[in-house]
């Protein structure tokens, strides 16, 4: 089935926003990069912010599905899937189109916590945290919610570090810390 003009716009806008940022990508630039006129864009979205929200929903769907599927391919039990998250991150960092986390970027460009774009970005992180907490529970690890928050902090730090090219192997560094954290949570409490 051929994608609708709206879907095509959201997919193309995702690429432009990811590459250039949200504020730096104006509607004129989007029209030039997507080949879709501003008039057509405004038929589908009342504002640039409405388009950004649609882009973030698409990115969330693509990203979480890719991460969840890949960690299930890399490991066959919940405990090892928590660790495999860092191998999946390494694969993402190795992609030549890697430009950091779109949700971190969005929340830094739209810093008001009540702004819908900031909220959408925070929701993405909460859904990841919930998924990892569920894996920790399924693995029988102590304090699964706390562990999920700690692992997500490691992952987020690795993402930022990879984006800044601060160290050579942030995913592997974070993986080593994750292994230590998980082993602490395996101990009886």
57-85 residue pLDDT tens: 999 999 999 999 999 999 999 999 999 99
Residue whose entry in the numeric block shows the structure tokens 């912010």: 49
Written as six digits, the tokens of 154 are 């490691």
Average pLDDT over residues 39-59: 96
Q: What is the pLDDT of residue 166?
A: 83
How many Å apart are CA 147 and CA 151, to the nearest integer?
A: 6
Average pLDDT over residues 20-46: 92
3-state SS assignment for residue 153: helix
Q: Look at residues 50, 41, 35 and name the one whose alpha carbon lies nearest to residue 6.
A: 41
Q: List, in order, residues 6 or more apart from 20 with CB less than 8 Å away.
A: 29
Q: What is the pLDDT of residue 1?
A: 56
Average pLDDT over residues 75-96: 97
Q: Between helices 48-74 and 5-20, what is the axis angle to 10°? A: 80
Q: Look at residues 120, 121, 68, 70 and name the one whose alpha carbon lies nearest to residue 94.
A: 70
Pseudo-torsion of CA 157, 19, 43, 59, nearest 10°? -40
Q: What is the pLDDT of residue 85?
A: 97
Q: What is the CA radius of gyration of the chain?
A: 18
Q: What is the pLDDT of residue 4?
A: 85
How many Å apart are CA 173 and CA 158, to the nearest integer?
A: 8
Q: What is the pLDDT of residue 41?
A: 92
Length of the chain: 189
Q: Which residue has the higher pLDDT, 108 or 167?
A: 108
Kindly report the CATH number that applies to the domain delimited by 5-186. 1.10.357.10
pTM of the shown model: 0.92
DSSP 96-124: TT----HHHHHHHHS--TTSHHHHHHHHH
User: Is residue 87 within 8 Å of residue 93, measured between CB atoms?
Assistant: no
User: Is residue 56 within 8 Å of residue 103, measured between CB atoms?
Assistant: yes
């Amino acid at each position: 089935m051929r994608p609708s003009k709206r879907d095509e716009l959201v997919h193309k806008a995702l690429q432009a926003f990811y590459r250039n940022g949200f504020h730096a990508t104006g509607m004129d630039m989007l029209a030039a990069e997507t080949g879709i006129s501003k008039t057509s864009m405004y038929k589908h979205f009342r504002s640039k912010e409405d388009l950004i929200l649609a882009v973030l929903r698409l990115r969330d769907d693509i990203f979480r599905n890719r991460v969840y599927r890949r960690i299930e391919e890399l490991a066959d039990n919940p405990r090892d899937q928590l660790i495999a998250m860092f191998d999946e991150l390494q694969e993402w960092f190795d992609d030549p189109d890697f430009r950091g986390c779109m949700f971190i970027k969005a929340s830094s460009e739209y810093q008001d916590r009540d702004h819908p774009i900031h909220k959408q970005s925070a929701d993405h992180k909460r859904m990841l945290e919930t998924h990892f907490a569920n894996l920790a529970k399924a693995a029988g690890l102590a304090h699964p919610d706390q562990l999920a928050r700690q692992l997500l902090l490691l992952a987020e730090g690795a993402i930022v570090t990879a984006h800044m090219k601060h160290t050579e192997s942030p995913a592997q560094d974070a993986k080593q810390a994750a292994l230590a954290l998980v082993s602490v949570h395996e101990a009886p409490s």
